[in-house]
Every structure is written in structure tokens, then in C-alpha cells.
Structure 1
Amino acid sequence: MTSSPITDPKALRALSHPFRWKLLQLLIEEGPRTATQCSETLGESVASCSYHLNMLAKYGFVEEVEGPGRQKPWKIVPKRQSISSDGLEGEAAMAAEAAAMAYLDQEFERIRDRLRLREHLPEEWRPAVGTEGTVKFLTAEEAVEYLAELQALLDKYDERRLDATLRPDGSRAVRFFLSSTVAPE
């Protein structure tokens, strides 16, 4: 699945709130949840969860699950999008930067929290938790090729992310976070 960049400044601003990233991640890892269930898991009020879910829905990131009952669960809209200020100007570029920074803040917070909990995991899961850093000396072309290879590896098992019926027994949400930067000249 190819990624399409988010270019609408309002949609980007919707992603600049750190709590919205927590809601998105919860829905990815746990599946459809009501605002009440989100509240219980994330420790925010039901009203706050409902408000933020509605904002995410307004820009097409989540949607309500069809079905009976008054309280409808929310689910992730299955599409791959990216945040970049490339080709954007003014308000849109600033909104893209704010959304990217909110994402990174939330991602680093999650990494720190889960690394702290590593010792409480069952022994068989501990080797799957950690960080890794490396430096490669590459040309621009090699760097792009290298990232494409890593992306192909990250795409493996992607169909299980939004379809719980494809997950094998004993599987758990394992978060991979890939970052690449280039040193200034």
C-alpha cells in the first residue's frame, strides 16, 4: 500500500494534538473502541475522548462502526498517509511540522514507557523490545533504496494490523519505529 501525503492544513492541524495520536494508536492496537472504552484505557474524560475522536473523524482518520446501539465504537480508516512539509507552503507547511512534532513526541513517550516495562514482560517477549541505532555512509540514491528495502520489511504482516481475524494466537502489538536523518554538510 503506497503512502499519500496529507496536504490539507486543517487535517494536519487535527493531527498536531498529542492526545489524538494516542487515540489513533489505541484504535490500531486494540481495535474498535467507544469513547468510554478509550477514556478508561487512556485516563481522559469520556467527553474529551469523544471530542477528539470526532475531530479525527472530521478529517477522515477514524469512523464509527456501523451497528446497533447508542454508543458506537470508532475504528481506524484503513489507508496509509504520510506527513511531510515537502511541496507545502505557509500555513500548510507549519501545520505539517506541528503534526510531525506531535507524532514524534507521542512516539518517543511510548518508547520510553514501554522500555521501562520491558522487565515485566514474559521472558520470551523481552528480546523483541529495545532500541537500535546505526550510521551508514550512503549516497542519496543508496539512502532512498535502503529505506525502500526497510519499508518492504516493515510492510510484512501489515494486513493483520486492521484485520484481527488474521492475527495468530499469541500475537501482540509490536511497535516498530523507523527514523532516518541526514547529517548537514
Structure 2
Amino acid sequence: MVDEKRDITDPKALRALAHPLRWQLLDFLSREGSATATQCAQESGESVASCSYHLNMLAKYDYVVQAEGGKGREKPWRLARQTTRFTDVGLDTEGAVAANAASGAFLEYTLNQIRERHLAVTGAPAEWRNALGVDNTNDFLTVEEVIAFREEVRALMDRYRGRREDPAARPDGARSVNLFFSTTVAPDKS
């Protein structure tokens, strides 16, 4: 990877993420390490031309870069970095709107993926069905406690990150598992 992390504040770069297919492409590259537009089309069900266009848009804003190997139109792409973060905090109105559009596209893609995988798990082996699921709770925490909790969960999620780029580090039977974590707060009614 080029850089480990990147915080995005540029509205144009944020708007580049405001498309569910781009999130799907980023997710696929994260799982596979690298892929061509043709492989992305096979994964997404979109045309090669559409995937190529969206990969080039992601490259324009430094989310993906050309990977080693390939020739001509069959150039592989890879993520430019492991972690891309953004928030609307501290941004002007244009930036905040762009960050919210990017978040909306991410949530649309991710929640659809969760729904599809949840429905498809019925055909999985029993041990996978027992391991997977959805947990939910409503508790009362302070801002500091939420921040600490998120950091702890991120540390747990990061424990397995090295397996993405090093297939040899994956134990037998390991599969790509999406770990989606979200914290939200009820509106202040005071």
C-alpha cells in the first residue's frame, strides 16, 4: 500500500465516493488485493466499460492505483491505502454535503450487502450459520466512552488485517467476512 491511512476533506474527492458501485469496487479490491476491470465486472454484474470508468474516477482521486502486471486494457488495480476516513466535522457546507453523500452511498452499498448475505446464509454450513448474525443494543454512554469503545472495536477488527494482503497468513477454512460496525446517537430532545 502507498499509505496506511488518509483523511479526506476535499469535496471533489468526497463526491467521488458518492456512488454505490465505487464502494463495491473498493470492497472487491480490498478482498482480492488487485483486480482488472473485467474481473470487477464479473464480480459486480456491471459492464467492463462501466467498471473501467468508475475505477478511473477512483484513481483520479487517489483511492486506487495501478497494480503490477497486466497489459493494455487488462491492467489490474489495487487500493492506494488500507484506510480511508472522512467526516463532515470541520468542513464547510460543500464539504459536509459531499461527506454525507459519500456516507449515504457507503451505507446503501453496505446495508444491501448485509441484507443479501443474510438471506444467502441459509445455504451455508451450520458452523458458519452459528458464527454469523446481527447484534444490536441501546445503551447510555458519554462521548468519551463512545470514542473509547470504537477504538477497542477497531483494534479487534484490525487484528486480522494482515490476512487481506497475505493469503499465506489465512488459516485453512478462512473466508472473507464483512465486519460492519456502526455507532449512532438518538437526537437530543432538550
Same fold (TM > 0.5): yes
Where do 5+ consecutive residues of structure 2 fail to align? none
Offset at residue 79 of structure 1 (A): 3.0
Which residue matches 1:171? 174
Which residue matches 1:41? 43
Q: Is the 8 A contact 1:23 1:53 kept in 2?
A: yes
Return the letter of the residue paired with 1:103: F
Which residue matches 1:181? 184
Return the letter of the residue paired with 2:88: S
1:118-153 Cα offsets, whole Å, 9 max, x none, are: 111122211222111011212222222222211211
Offset at residue 66 of structure 1 (A): 2.0
Offset at residue 102 of structure 1 (A): 0.4
The TM-score, its normalising length taken from structure 1, stands at 0.93
Return the letter of the residue paired with 1:26: F
Q: Write the distance in 1 (CA, Å) between the matches of 2:70 and 2:141.
A: 55
Distance 1:118 1:177, change over 3 A: same
Q: Is the 8 A contact 1:78 1:162 kept in 2?
A: no
Moved more, 108-117 or 60-69: 60-69
Offset at residue 2 of structure 1 (A): 7.6
Offset at residue 175 of structure 1 (A): 0.5
Which residue matches 2:99? 96
The TM-score, its normalising length taken from structure 2, stands at 0.91
Q: 80, 83, 91: which one pairs with 1:77?
A: 80
Q: What SS is found at the alignment partner of 1:79?
A: strand
Q: Write the distance in 1 (CA, Å) between the matches of 2:137 and 2:7.
A: 27
Q: What SS is found at the alignment partner of 2:82?
A: coil
Normalized per residue, which structure has more strand?
2
Q: What SS is found at the alignment partner of 1:80?
A: strand
Which residue matches 1:142? 145
Distance 1:33 1:122, change over 3 A: same
